[in-house]
Amino acid sequence: MIQRHQSAPRVAKLAALGVGVALLATACGGSSSTPSGSSTSSAAAAGISCPAPSGSASASAAAGGTTVAPADVPKSPTTSATPLKLGSLLPQTGALAFLGPPEIAGVNLAVKQINDAGGVLNHPIEITHRDSGDTTTDIATQSVTNLLGQGVSAVIGAASSGVSKTVINQITGAGVIQFSPANTSPDFSTWDSKGLYWRTAPSDVLQGRVLGNYMASCGAQTVGMIVLNDAYGTGLRDNVKKAFEGAGGKVVDEELFNEGDSQFSSQVDKVVAAKPDAIAVISFDQAKQIIPLLAAKGVKPTQMFFVDGNTSDYSKDFAAGTLTGAQGTQPGTFAKDEFKTQLKSIDAGLKDYNYAGESWDATNLIALAAEKAKSTKGVDIAAQFVGITHGSNQCYDFPSCVTLIRQGKDIHYMGKSGPVSFAKNGDPQEAYIGIYKFDDKNVPQPLKEEFGKLS
């Protein structure tokens, strides 16, 4: 175990972080609190006291802008020979199936709103949904083959970085855009996709730094990690570790598991034996098996920290109070009530909203870029993404943005997930990371947001 640091040095170290990442606190307030005494076991959870947020629990990103009624949108000066055809490759089965409903709802809501405003290049856009499965199956490859056979210009998905790695060359090699609302692996920042891979979710360089810093600000001196052994899990682990150790903490154990595993007792036993102050669970729905094992070993929910792959509604999975006080991170701003209502008009059964905003944004951005390019070809559309996210006229939805484009004006699309400013490699250059806290019903509630820039 390492010795505890006094509060001032810890704050200084936290402030000095951010090589390549500038983190700007928004709704977060308070200072780091470091308890006295030493930590010798997992009972050190009493020393975890996260700084309380101040002000509103939600940042005001992308909340305003001039709205143009669908009926008032001017007709496109260009009519394409064929409609803009989109496909989705989102999880309907597998370890990430809980992410499918909000992502699909986000896509379908955007498609409806775009078509209500007259569509793209004087045609309604078309959407075909196909399952991505997970990395234990070959569903994604089969789905992509089907979508490419239908002549889609862009594929929205996959949610899993591991799945995207299996199909990215198949998609982009066909001259088709792959636009993921949820891929966070840093590997895609340097992937040779011929300019056809884009994403609205930020690289885990950002989420990892936020989570690592946050656990340190809560007073944790040591952390254990249970990690999915794929591109998503190990990439996020590396960035969490870098930030946490940069703040003076120590990662005392890292236990890996593979997609498809169903037994996690060994990993849990080893992590708990290392007696960390906090435990980060970097997984997908494997958390449903991991959480009860941690609780049975005496790990308190306030010691548990989760990520976007498993920060979910567990109200029907565990007894009330199982996760009270546990916390997790998700890229993007908190879903606003109006947006939730709109999504529920598409899917009344929604209970999670993970990446719904990013999916809505991805669909709108493809449609707007097609309008700007006056083309439904993937390569032409992709060439417009940087331009429509760096213009001088901010706009917040398809009707208002396409109106500006048809008036010959440049635009800066501001999405539901926050401001979008693309780099040439397809990465968003800035993003929000939301921090959520589980209530006594095991439902994550918005706590605060952190805004960061990737340089």
Tens digits of pLDDT across the chain (455 residues): 333 333 333 433 443 334 333 443 333 333 333 333 333 334 344 468 998 875 444 444 444 455 899 999 999 999 999 999 999 999 999 988 989 999 999 999 999 999 999 999 999 999 999 999 999 999 999 999 999 999 999 999 999 999 999 999 999 999 999 999 999 999 999 999 999 999 999 999 999 999 999 999 999 999 999 999 998 999 999 999 999 999 999 999 999 999 999 999 999 999 999 999 999 999 999 999 999 999 999 999 999 999 999 999 999 999 999 999 999 999 989 999 999 999 999 999 998 899 999 999 999 999 999 999 999 999 999 999 999 999 999 999 999 999 999 999 999 999 999 889 999 999 999 999 999 999 999 999 999 999 888 76
276 and 416 together in one domain: no
**For position 54, what pLDDT does the model report?**
59
Residue 314 belongs to a domain: yes
Residue 88 maps to a domain: yes
Residues 6+ apart with CB under 8 A from 171: 144, 148, 155, 177, 178, 196
Q: Where are the alpha helices (DSSP H) in 201-347?
A: 204-217, 231-246, 265-273, 287-296, 337-346
Same-domain status, 20 and 133: no
Write down the pLDDT at residue 48: 87
- Which H or E run contains 197? strand 197-199
Which residue type is seen at 412? H
Residue 428 lies in a domain: no
Is residue 173 located within the same domain as residue 255?
no
- pLDDT given for residue 52 in this prediction: 82
Radius of gyration of the chain (CA): 22
> What is the domain count for the chain?
2
Check: CB of residue 407 under 8 Å from CB of residue 75.
Answer: no
CA distances from 421 to 40, 66, 198, 368, 413 (A): 45, 19, 12, 14, 8
Regarding whether 320 and 217 lie in a shared domain, the answer is yes
- The whole-number pLDDT of residue 213 equals 96
CATH number of the domain encompassing residue 196: 3.40.50.2300
Amino acid at 437: K
Given the structure tokens 């239908």, which residue do they identify?
Answer: 150
Q: Are residues 149 and 256 in the same domain?
A: no
Residue 138: its pLDDT value, please? Answer: 95
Residues 361-387 as b or e (16 or more Cβ within 10 Å = b): bbbbbbbbbbbbbebbebbebbbbbbe
Look at residue 5 in the predicted model and tell me its pLDDT.
Answer: 36
Structure tokens at 309: 């792959």
Burial (Cβ within 10 Å: 0-12, 13-18, ≥19) of residue 330: buried
Residues 138, 86 within the same domain: yes
Position 4 scores a pLDDT of 32
Let me know: does 331 contact 436? Beta carbons within 8 Å: no
Cα 144 from chain centroid (whole Å): 22
The answer as to whether 64 is a domain residue is no
For residue 52, the tally of other CB atoms under 10 A from its CB is 11
86 lies in the same domain as 197: yes
So what's the pLDDT on residue 455? 63
Contact 149, 171 (CB under 8 A): no
Prediction pTM value: 0.82
**Do 97 and 179 fall into the same domain?**
yes
Show the domain range for 134.
70-202+335-422
Three-class DSSP category at 302 = helix
Output the pLDDT for position 53.
Answer: 77
Question: Greatest CA span in the chain, whole angstroms?
Answer: 72
- pLDDT, position 47: 64
